[in-house]
Amino acid sequence: MKKITFQYIVVIAGMVSVGLAACNKLLDMKPINEISNVDYWKTADQYKLAANEFYTYLVTFANELYDPAPSTPPSPHSDIRSDLTTSRSAFSNGSNTIPLSDDNWTNAYKRLRSINYLLAKDSADIDNTLRSERLVYVAEAKFFRAYVYFDLLQQFGGVPIVTRPLDDKSPELQAPRNSREEVVDLIVKDLEEAIAVLPLESAIIAANKGRISKGAAQAFLGRVALYEGTWQKFRNGDAARYNGLLDKSIAASNAVITSTQYSLFAPGILGDSAQKYMFILEDEKSNPAGINKSANKEYILANRYSYTQRQIRNNVTHTLLGGGISKKFADMYLCQDGLPITKSPLFQGYDWTRSEYMNRDNRMRYTMMIDSNYYWDNENPGARTTWTGDAADIASSRGMHNAGGGTGYQNQKWATERRLNDNEEGYDWPVIRLAEVYLNYAEAVYERNGSISDADLDKSLNLVRNRVNKTMPKLSNALVSANSLDMRTEIRRERTIELYLEGFRVDDLKRWKTAETEMPMNVLGIKWKGTRWETRWVVNGKSPYPVDANGFLIFEDSRKWANKNYLLPIPAQQRTLNPNLDQNPDW
């Protein structure tokens, strides 16, 4: 079996089909921006087939779980670049430099050209019937233009706005960067116009399932408005502007919540393991109850895969199972009384290899691997057989887990337990899921008002918290007050725990303007000194890594984070092609 790390994995490129419609021969031969009016744009179905290209732009496994990923551009939003994992890279320790080129920039503008080409067909010289029939595909194009510009905004801040197809004489090619305010305004405008046209999830026919819904656009608007609202708030921006954005986030997220189109994945038969199996859900037996994807109403927008039709083609299980996690992340999990380990009498300390996992948030034991527990993967033997945990099932496992390696904290999220060959996993990537919407709503309400009611917590964050923690006290103002907690910290804790390894952490630290504090911290591992590990995990008679004053392993030190790292540098080649592009601050 190959060594499992979060670093430098060779990845096989995934298939580009989105499973939405049969291939179109014209599109097979020509990119969308090379299709002429004579060739195309005669029917609504042709607009639909053209819009299918945009679904290949959705983020997926290769983007978020690998850094670098040889088959794709680098992964600017990946948690692998954060403070929660053990990846050592120029982006995680703040030593990246100005690149000559950046495929994330280049590919974004290629995508915008294709999107703008379709939107340019929205003209007055076409038949009114066709105009009516194709409006939904125009709305999809506006969603994807917002999607691409938001990706650019998070990486680079203000960027040149292009809203029409260009030729080699177009003045936009030599235009300066637009402000981030202008970019955000365009994103919001596109999303609001798309929302007005897109159908509810329940109105999308079976053949079109997976296409952008009204709820997806509303949820994405909630994400964008929260991101920019907090970015401005924590940089002392204009209060009217950032409060207006937070209001938009609240309203958009609330519209999704009250639409009742989606629900958290929580089948009673799976109990507190429901969330674990949601991430590896396939139509083949991939969980103890044999539940398939049709039962998952939580994914509002997904990059869809299938074992029989479109495999992921990245070795997800062997990459993620056993991947390194930082002590910081392990310590974030609450105890079952709803209190942090620093305040809870339920916390059992670090003395034994399993003690710190006792009485904790159930998400901890279904996300992380516990020393001496049995785990399964896609190997044969190694995969599940009876799915009951009985003797036969244990005999087919990969064996008892030895946590002595890396930081001593390892991951199991995204790793299948069913038998299949490497690279053949077929579960979906959640581009947007309802749990995020609930968390966006709670945070936006708190940041807008400086407080949040128990009623608002109960309609959002607590649904996520108690999905697999039925007896854990809800987050409430009384709990916060009685235990001298900080509501903002607890809201952010829930977000970090729930959305781990889904591509949010780095961008969250940036918008909160806390990266300068969090990212330079040493990456610590288990408590070695004075614990069972001191006699069990020894290398040449001593600790496997340096040990800090409190006895914890130091996996990585000397990390840096400068103010310039809040944005990536504009690639040098782009500034050569367009000297009017200003560089980001301090680069």
Helices (H), 65-127: 103-119
Distance CA 236, CA 125 (A): 47
Helices (H), 126-176: 128-156
- What pLDDT shows up at residue 10? 25
Closest CA to 465 of 358, 334, 560, 573: 334
- What pLDDT shows up at residue 12? 24
DSSP strands (E only) in 281-427: 299-303, 368-369, 410-411
Residues 6+ away with beta carbon under 8 Å from 569: 97, 98, 99, 583, 584, 587
Max Cα distance, the chain (Å) = 81
Distance CA 81, CA 67 (A): 8
CB 65 within 8 A of CB 490: no
- What pLDDT shows up at residue 268? 97
Closest CA to 344 of 157, 188, 483, 492: 483
Distance CA 182, CA 178 (A): 6
Distance CA 398, CA 376 (A): 5
> Strand, coil or helix: what is 324?
strand
Q: Tokens 């920019």 belong to which residue?
A: 228
DSSP 437-499: HHHHHHHHHHHHHS---HHHHHTTHHHHHTSS-TTSPPP-HHHHHHTT--HHHHHHHHHHHHT
Query: Which tokens belong to 554?
Result: 């130091």
Q: Which residues pair with 410 in a beta bridge?
A: 324, 369
Domains of the chain and any CATH numbers: 19-57+104-197 (1.25.40.890)
At 434, give phi and psi (nearest 5°): -60, -35
DSSP strands (E only) in 528-571: 552-556
527 DSSP assignment: E
If residue 220 lies in a helix (H) or strand (E), which one and from where to where? helix 214-233
Residues 6+ away with beta carbon under 8 Å from 538: 544
- What pLDDT shows up at residue 383? 97
CB 460 within 8 A of CB 495: no
- What pLDDT shows up at residue 173? 95
- What pLDDT shows up at residue 34? 65
Q: Tokens 């990706």 belong to which residue?
A: 151
Closest CA to 367 of 526, 502, 500, 527: 500
To 10 degrees, the CA torsion angle through 182, 188, 192, 194? Answer: 90
> Strand, coil or helix: what is 584?
coil
Residues 6+ away with beta carbon under 8 Å from 368: 325, 330, 357, 409, 410, 411, 412
> Strand, coil or helix: what is 383?
coil
Closest CA to 498 of 318, 327, 334, 303: 334
Give per-residue burial for 197-232: e unless 16+ CB within 10 Å, then b: bbbebeebeeeeebbbbbbbbbbbbbbbbbbbbbbb
Distance CA 334, CA 364 (A): 9
Where residue 48 falls (left for φ over 0; alpha for ψ -120 to 50; beta otherwise) is alpha
C-alpha radius of gyration, the chain, whole number: 24
Stated pTM of the model: 0.93
Task: Show the 3-state SS of 150-161.
Answer: HHHHHHHCCCCC
> Strand, coil or helix: what is 429?
strand
CB 193 within 8 A of CB 142: yes
Q: What is the mean pLDDT of each run of 10 residues along the chain (587 residues)?
A: 31 34 36 66 90 97 81 81 91 92 96 96 69 90 98 98 95 96 98 98 96 98 99 98 98 98 98 97 97 98 98 96 97 98 98 98 98 97 95 96 97 98 97 98 99 98 98 98 98 98 98 98 98 96 97 96 97 97 97
CB 413 within 8 A of CB 501: yes
Distance CA 471, CA 336 (A): 7
